[in-house]
């Protein structure tokens, strides 16, 4: 009988520890705040560097590409436990990484005065950014406090 009692107590203690560890993770609101902070910082920095996308300065474009890569790295470093936020994060990471790569290709073509390659890279940037409104709308809706 003491062995059964000890097993019961041990099981209860293990369950309590498991629950407390699980609840120690960040809340969905905190996870939303983390990912939204990175998104807003990346967008603000890219807009500032490129004058809202209107610059023709290759160096500013490269700095914006660096900002996108940094945002993707910052997002990858987040410890997200929410499955839906992980899906949104994956979408933003892919978009930021692809955008940085295409922007660099554009700058390279621009500097070589290769018009067709520059137009192709610019077209690629536009295609890469197409999912952005849906991603932004989706994550904003998901992260809105429930009323």
* 3-class SS string, 55-104: CCCHHHHHHHHHHHHHHHHHHHHCCCCCHHHHHHHHHHHHHHHHHHHHHH
Nearest alpha-carbon partner for 122 in 104, 110, 106, 98: 106
Per-residue model confidence (pLDDT) at position 147: 60
The residues spanned by each domain of the chain are: 26-143
pLDDT confidence of 26, banded at 50, 70, 90? confident
The answer to whether the beta carbons of residues 65 and 90 sit under 8 Å apart is no
| pLDDT of 2 | 44
- The gap from C-alpha 110 to its chain's centroid, in whole angstroms, comes to 28
Using an 8 Å Cβ cutoff, are 26 and 79 in contact? yes
The count of residues in the chain is: 147
To 10 degrees, the CA torsion angle through 76, 48, 128, 113?
-120
Q: Decide: helix, strand or coil at residue 113.
A: coil
Mean pLDDT of 70-89: 96
Q: What pTM, to 2 d.p., does this model score?
A: 0.79
pLDDT exceeding 90 applies to what percent of the chain?
A: 76
For the chain, what is the mean pLDDT?
85
pLDDT in tens, 28-54: 999 999 999 999 999 999 999 999 889
Q: What pLDDT band is residue 135 in, cutting at 50, 70 and 90?
A: very high
Average pLDDT over residues 93-105: 96
Give the least confident one: 13-17, 108-112, 122-126. Answer: 13-17
């Amino acid at each position: 009988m003491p062995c059964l009692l000890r097993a019961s107590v041990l099981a209860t203690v293990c369950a309590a520890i498991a629950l407390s560890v699980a609840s120690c993770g960040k809340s969905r609101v905190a996870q939303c705040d983390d990912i939204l902070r990175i998104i807003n910082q990346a967008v603000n920095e890219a807009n500032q560097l490129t004058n809202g996308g209107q610059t023709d300065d290759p160096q500013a474009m490269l700095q914006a590409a660096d900002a996108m890569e940094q945002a993707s790295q910052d997002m990858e470093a987040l410890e997200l436990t929410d499955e839906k936020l992980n899906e949104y994060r994956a979408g933003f990471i892919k978009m930021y990484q692809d955008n940085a790569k295409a922007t660099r290709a554009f700058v390279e073509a621009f500097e070589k005065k290769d018009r067709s390659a520059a137009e192709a890279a610019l077209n690629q940037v536009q295609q890469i950014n197409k999912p952005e409104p849906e991603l932004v709308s989706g994550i904003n809706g998901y992260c809105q406090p429930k009323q």
